Amino acid sequence: MATEITIIRHGETVWNRQKRIQGQRNSKLSENGITQAELVAEALAKREFDVLVSSDLERAVETANIINKQLVLPHEYNVNLRERSFGIFEGKNFAKIEEKYPEEFRRFKERDAGFVVPGGESIEQMYKRVTSEIEAIALKFKDQKVLIVSHGLVLEMMMYRTFNLSLNEPRSFSINNSSISSFYIDGNNWFLKEWGVIEHLVSLNVLTEL
């Protein structure tokens, strides 16, 4: 037996539409994001879960609350499932970051996994935070079905852990808002069940991608 973790990326936010880096700042769901959350709620209502765990950031909580109107699950909030902290980059778009912080932006674009964004965290730090917390959740809810609502880079870290990918390598897969992905976790063993399911989003053309 293993814990089955199904993880949803939050719905599209106002800052997603404006292409501003959110990190650990809050931005409300856009109208499109609310629709995405409602659609993924309908899709998830056909499945069974024991508990809902979400990041405590507003966009994840808002998405989780929409989903939980359908599922009515016990709901826990988890600070370790937050998005990566981007420090001085947060609230700005890439053009503004490059203009104001050219050296830091260069290292960010090079995907140096050890580079700590001033005031934020590195990819390596986030990876350790996320993977250790997911394993703790899997142990806490051993052999149960856990639904998580979190963030794009949390999903990315889970994929890198599952397939033992180098953190310095660029991501080569999509992470859509309100997509559905599932993993089996048994101790140190991680297995991918499904990735990026978007059938519930396609018909209304509400897709966006990280």
Inter-residue contact 147 to 51 (CB < 8 Å): yes
Distance of CA 60 to the CA centre of its chain: 9
What does the angle CA 63 – CA 69 – CA 74 come to, to the nearest 5 degrees? 85
* 151 annotated active-site: no
Q: Residue 97: which H helix or E strand, with range?
A: helix 94-100
Instruction: Kindly name the residue from 4, 12, 38, 83 that is annotated as catalytic.
Output: 83
Instruction: Kindly name the residue from 10, 121, 151, 200 that is annotated as catalytic.
Output: 10
Q: How far is Cα 23 from Cα 25, in angstroms, rounded to an integer?
A: 6
* 10 annotated active-site: yes
Inter-residue contact 89 to 97 (CB < 8 Å): yes
Query: What helix, strand, coil percent values describe the chain, rounded to 5?
Result: 40, 20, 40
Q: How far is Cα 31 from Cα 34, in angstroms, rounded to an integer?
A: 5
Please identify every residue annotated as catalytic. 10, 83
